[in-house]
Amino acid sequence: PEQSQAIVIYTGWERHALVGSDVRLSCSFFSWRWTSEDVSFSWTYRPDGSRDTISIFHYTRGVPYLDNKGPFKDRLEFVGNPGRRDGSILIKNLDLSDNGTFTCDAKNPPDIVGRPSSVRLLVFENPIQAGVITGAIIGVVLGLLVLIVVIYYLMRFLVARRVFSLSVKHGKKKKEGSQQRQGPVPPADPSKVKAATSEKKKQESRKDKK
């Protein structure tokens, strides 16, 4: 019987990923011997806040066995290369319930004495996505409302200014005309113009009342 020596297993310390994305959990080992044909990799999973550990992946004698009953059903993929001492797995379409600790245990017979290494998976919700559409609709509609009100009052203001400047010009022309005639000087024109416009307004409001 060959003497067994220690094997050192390496995984990451922590992995971060967004909900719905894929994450690759890498596992590798160091051993003094050549990689044997009976090399095996095992992944187990312990959810956050739970004491139960379940097996989700096992590779032995050249055949990978994936979880087909547990929480990672149809979501696991073996992307490692056992010949190169790589026992990495890929988890697809992550969910918030996948938060937890993944432990990789590799054995390279006769080197079986080793400490399994763990990697912690942290799955985050994408903070931007929630509520983008809501905010966009509200912002655009209210912005349009403000814009319409501003434009409306601006138009009114401009039109009123135009009317006033035109009436002042009209008054000036009248003044020049009467001075050329050398007749009696007519009363101050702006007040005359104002009286005329207020008269017009009174007539309009009387029409509206009817």
Q: Is 203 in the site for other proteins (CB under 8 A)?
A: no
Quick one: 135 or 183, whose CB is closer to other proteins? 135
Q: Is 154 in the site for other proteins (CB under 8 A)?
A: no
The Cβ-side half-sphere exposure at 86, using a 13 Å CA radius, reads 11
Candidates 13, 49, 128, 134; binder of other proteins (CB under 8 A) is 134
Cα separation of 182 and 179, whole Å? 5
Q: How far is the CB of 97 from other proteins (least distance, A)?
A: 9
Residue 80 in 3-state DSSP?
A: coil
Q: How far is the CB of 8 from other proteins (least distance, A)?
A: 39
For residues 82 to 121, the per-residue mask of contacts with other proteins, x marking binding by CB under 8 A and - elsewhere, is --------------x-------------------------
> Considering CB under 8 A, how many residues would be counted as binding other proteins?
16
Residue with token string 């087909």 = 68
Closest to 94 (Cα-Cα) out of 115, 76, 70, 112: 76
